[in-house]
Amino acid sequence: MEVIANLATSLDGKIATAHREFFPLGTQTDWAQMIELRATVDAVIFGAATLRAFRGFCGAPKDSPSQPANVVMSSKLEGFSLQWPFFKEPTRKRILVVTSPITRKAASTFGSKADLVRLKPGPRLAIHLLKELKKRGMKRVLIEGGGSIMWEFARHNLIDEYHVTLTPRILGGAAAPTLVDGDGFNPKKVLNLKLIEARPIGDELYLLYRKTARRGA
């Protein structure tokens, strides 16, 4: 399965403010390219915090022949509401991945609007998720954050391409999420990527990196 990631970051490496509210970093050009990229994948993967902030469906252009499934990784579906636009369109495919026991009420409530997938938490969570999506016939998926979700995939070097928009903003904040959070690598395990493309558009810089097998210095 091919795994790609697409996120916009501030100049200081943040993908959101420390308050984690919905705050689009990029311009309309960045947004348009993100929408087009979604049209090339079978599923868009993101975390519960991203859904709580955005509350909408991460879809492709309206004229696309099909829409990617939205895969939300959560622990207990806490803070979710069926009143959000994310749950409103009946034809959209939604998959909620839970890693902790949830109540029967939550299972019944959200199971009526989405497929519930239960996976064991742990360092191989992303590997198990990709296997589950492959069983459903998916061949190409897109990760849109946040930083903790990115870590689950980056820790095993599962991301084939990194599409990164560097924006001319400074967010600051020690608690603000970065492109990849999590425990981090020791020096010998650091991932090394290969730059494929760099395109300046206005004040933004569009970067495409591809993974390599090289680790460390």
Listed in sequence order, the residues at least 6 apart from 191 whose beta carbon sits closer than 8 Å to its beta carbon are 154, 157, 185, 211, 212, 215
Residue 217 confidence (pLDDT):
85
Mean pLDDT of the chain: 96
Residue 133 scores a pLDDT above 90: yes
Residue 81 scores a pLDDT above 90: yes
Alpha carbon distance 41, 5 (integer Å): 11
Name the nearest CA neighbour of 118 among 87, 86, 74, 57.
Answer: 74
Tens digits of residue pLDDT in 173-211: 999 999 999 999 999 999 999 999 999 999 999 999 999
Residue 15 scores a pLDDT above 90: yes
Residue 73 scores a pLDDT above 90: yes
Assess contact for 138 and 117: CB atoms under 8 A: no
Residue 20 scores a pLDDT above 90: no
Sign (positive or negative) of CA dihedral 136, 142, 145, 149: positive
Alpha carbon distance 205, 167 (integer Å): 7
Tokens of 35: 């929408």
Per-residue pLDDT band for 168 (boundaries 50, 70, 90) equals very high
The 8-class DSSP code of residue 187 comes to G
Give the up-direction half-sphere exposure of residue 163: CA atoms within 13 A in the CB hemisphere. Answer: 18
